[in-house]
Amino acid sequence: MWKKQRKILNHSFSQKRIDSYSRVFIDEAESLAYRLSKLVVRRNRDVQNVVLTCFTNTICRTLFDVKYEMDIETHVKELDRLLGNVARRGVRWFSHWSTPTSSVTEEFEKSWSYGKQIGGDIISEKRRQLAEIKELTEVGIDLERTKETFMLDNILERPEFTDQRAMSELLLFIIAGSETSSSTLLFTFIALAIYPDIQERLYEDVVKVCGLDGPVTLEHLSHVEYVERVIKETLRIFAVAPILGRYIQEDLDIGDMVLPKGSTVFLNVIHTHRNAKYWPDPLKFDPDRFLQKNASKIVPFSFIPFSHGFRNCIGHKYAMTSLKITLITIIRKVKIFTAYKTIGEVRVKSHFTLRPMMGWKLWFEARS
């Protein structure tokens, strides 16, 4: 069943579809760059809120074709509660999973109800749109042929997705798509601010290819090769999905031992990405590790920010394109600063996704 559903969803992540989302990526990135340049207060919460708004809007517009006006303060608070509960539920799997009345389960249900509310609003809006198209088609105006099919249209119209399944998918995409991209961009800001020479090099490369003004195009992306390396190096040091879990369905021989059927294993991605055996001087932020000529030095599976295999990230290419466009747009408009002096100072915790324990500590100045 999962395979069949993923096949349907894959359609929305082909290169052609991702390219067609670029005008939304650019639009939201420009609005984010403007808002960051105007942020006068240096509060962690403000920075995180504007970045998360950008990526949540992007997901809603590209995958659902719905503009959802949310109250960002409530959204961040409830999302934090939900992710904290998911993380606790994962970590305390063994002690709480089978106890439905436990406080963890009750808390989880409470935070889930916010998710159901925004999911319900988005689905109602989409059903209204679909009904309108149907009405127009019935009176001979054929919008169906000219209109692109968005991921949510597909989910609501296919029998493979029950109502409950549709709701879960929608929330999964909002959470998995916005929280990960937004934290990756914020960690990139921290790294660039700690290494001002790398920030300036990126700025110069971007201006050389894209100029000082005007929208970034897909054509530009292939020429600003440094931006991809900067994002990959951020994902290495700050793997925003730091721990992955797998349920073992059959006894699995991994050489040194057999993982018994029925057990749950956790893969420590962040530890692998920071292991000196694979990445010398692991806390040094060095985008050139990902230069083409160094590719042969990268040990297979030592870099897995998007996981690997069947259950890898469906939004991998989407995320890289949207992050590249957003970073290019922002670096042209603002200089980034942080109170952190070294990467080692940025202590991290897993709040389902990776977070800095002491906050983002970022501020921005508009470039003249």
Choices 114-122, 282-290, 291-299, 313-321; region in contact with ligand HEM by CB under 6 A: 313-321
Interacting residues with ligand HEM between 56 and 75 (CB under 6 A):
59
Map residues 340-359 to x or -, x wherever contact with ligand HEM holds by CB under 6 A.
Answer: --------------------
Among 167, 314, 328, 346, binds ligand HEM (CB under 6 A): 314
Site for ligand HEM, residues 182 to 221, rule: CB under 6 A:
184
With b for 16 or more beta-carbon neighbours within 10 A and e for fewer, the 159-184 pattern comes to: eebeeeebbebbbebbbbbbbbbbbb
With contacts defined by CB under 6 A, name the span among 27-35, 74-82, 212-220, 311-319 that binds ligand HEM. Answer: 311-319
CA 240/CA 175 separation, integer angstroms: 13
For residue 89, the surrounding DSSP H or E stretch is helix 72-91
Query: 92 or 247, CB closer to ligand HEM?
Result: 247
Per CB under 6 A, which of residues 238..257 are in contact with ligand HEM?
Answer: 240-241, 244
Contact residue for ligand HEM among 189, 195, 290, 306 (CB under 6 A): 306
54 is in an annotated binding site: no
Give the shortest CB-295-to-ligand HEM separation in angstroms.
20
Place of tokens 């890289």: 320
Pattern of binders to ligand HEM over 144-183, x per CB under 6 A? ----------------------------xx--xx--xx--
95: CB partners within 8 A, 6+ apart: none
Picking from 59, 60, 52, 58, the residue whose alpha carbon sits closest to that of residue 83 is 52
Of 312 and 342, nearer to ligand HEM (C-beta) is: 312
Residue whose Cβ sits closest to ligand HEM: 315
Give min distance, CB of 327 to ligand HEM, in A. Answer: 12
Contact mark string toward ligand HEM, 250..289, x via CB under 6 A: ----------------------------------------
Q: How far is the CB of 247 from ligand HEM (least distance, A)?
A: 10
Query: Buried b vs exposed e over 317-342: b needs ≥16 C-beta within 10 Å?
Result: ebbbbbbbbbbbbbbbbbbbbbebee
d(CA 306, CA 236): 11
Strand 258-259 to strand 252-253: parallel, antiparallel, or no bridges (unpaired)?
A: antiparallel
- Residues near 164 by Cβ (< 8 Å), separated by ≥ 6? none
Report, in Å, the least distance between residue 229 CB and ligand HEM. Answer: 15
Count of beta carbons in the 10 Å neighbourhood of residue 368 = 4
Calpha distance 347→306 (Å, rounded): 22
- By CB under 6 A, residue 119 contacts ligand HEM: no
Per DSSP, the three-state class of 312 is coil
Question: CA 219 to CA 359: how far, in whole Å?
Answer: 36
- Token readout for 17 is 């579809």
CB nearer ligand HEM, residue 214 or residue 300: 300
Name the residue type at position 168: S
- Supply the minimum distance, in Å, between the C-beta of residue 87 and ligand HEM: 13
- What are the binding residues? 313
- What are the binding residues for heme? 313
Q: State the residues that interact with ligand HEM by CB under 6 A.
A: 6, 59, 172-173, 176-177, 180-181, 184, 240-241, 244, 305-307, 311-315, 318-319
